[in-house]
Amino acid sequence: MPNAAASGSFELGGDLPVIRLGYGTMQLTGSGIWGEPADRDAAVRVIRRAAELGVTFFDTADSYGPVIAEPLLREALHPYSDDIVIATKAGLTRSGPHDWRPVGRPEYLRQQALLSLRHLGVDHIDLFQLHRVDPRVPLAEQIGELKLLQDEGVVRHIGMSEVTADQLEEAGKTARIAAVQNLYNLADRSAEPVLDYAEQNGLAFIPWFPLATGALVKSGGPLAAIAEQHGASPSQLALAWLLRRSPAILPIPGTSSVEHLEDNIAAADVDLSDADVEALTRAVAE
């Protein structure tokens, strides 16, 4: 039986241990990340199965649905075991399927943090991430509100999503940033400078779309031949590559299928040599 614990652990913020191979909830919602899942009971089963397979790090957001993914986590896992760590986000509003609009006004971020407490059924948020920087609001005001929430005990650690290394550096003048979540996978490594910054400064790097929304793992895709040699699936190789790329990386592959979940978690047991890593890197040109 696969177990995520084989992927190793990371201390988020230097004091909150998580198993590196986590689970992202975005794909549990309806089409366009909008509305209820087609099968709510199935979504709950996937979350519970992830926890059974050793996942302790669950990533979500108020905007997934909106207000769908957070209550699903609560339904599936509450009361939470002591090792469960939940990361959520605020700062993107929704006006329909596939429509995302940044809002970083301090009063809005505070409201959403307090609503997340209610929706998740927790007394504090382990990792609260600014989902997007709002260009209309000074960054110091956005991060400053998160720092106030941290000082009040509402938030334990602060993170950011889709930012540059310069923005992380600027935000760090207002609050300690514990994690960054950017688009990153074997096929898109444009966030390398941010990953380097994370490594150098003790931040967790959480790659979203770690499987490139399926493009990497389709039948006949760039990883298929190498996967066959290893007796592994392309998904497992893509995730194993991320785990080898840096000890700061916490992949959060999402799926609405228990079968796919189990396949993803088995990536923790894939042992890649240096030659394997180089071959995979060459196989997928950016």
The CA-CA-CA angle for residues 243, 60, 70, to 5°, reads: 145
Residue 243: partners with Cβ closer than 8 Å, 6 or more residues away? 7, 8, 20, 21, 249, 251, 267, 268
Q: Residues of 115-131 as b/e, b for ≥16 C-beta within 10 angstroms? A: ebbebbbbeebbbbbbb
Task: Report in angstroms the alpha-carbon separations of 232 from 99, 125, 239, 269.
Answer: 36, 36, 11, 10
197 is catalytic: no
Q: What is the C-alpha to C-alpha distance for residues 247 and 127, in angstroms, rounded to an integer?
A: 19
| Dmax (CA) of the chain | 54
For tokens 């995520």, name the residue.
Answer: 4
Name the catalytic one among 23, 64, 184, 197. Answer: 64
CB neighbour class for 41 (10 Å; exposed up to 12, middle 13-18, buried from 19)? exposed
Do 52 and 21 meet the contact criterion of CB atoms below 8 Å apart? Answer: no
Q: Which residues are catalytic?
A: 64
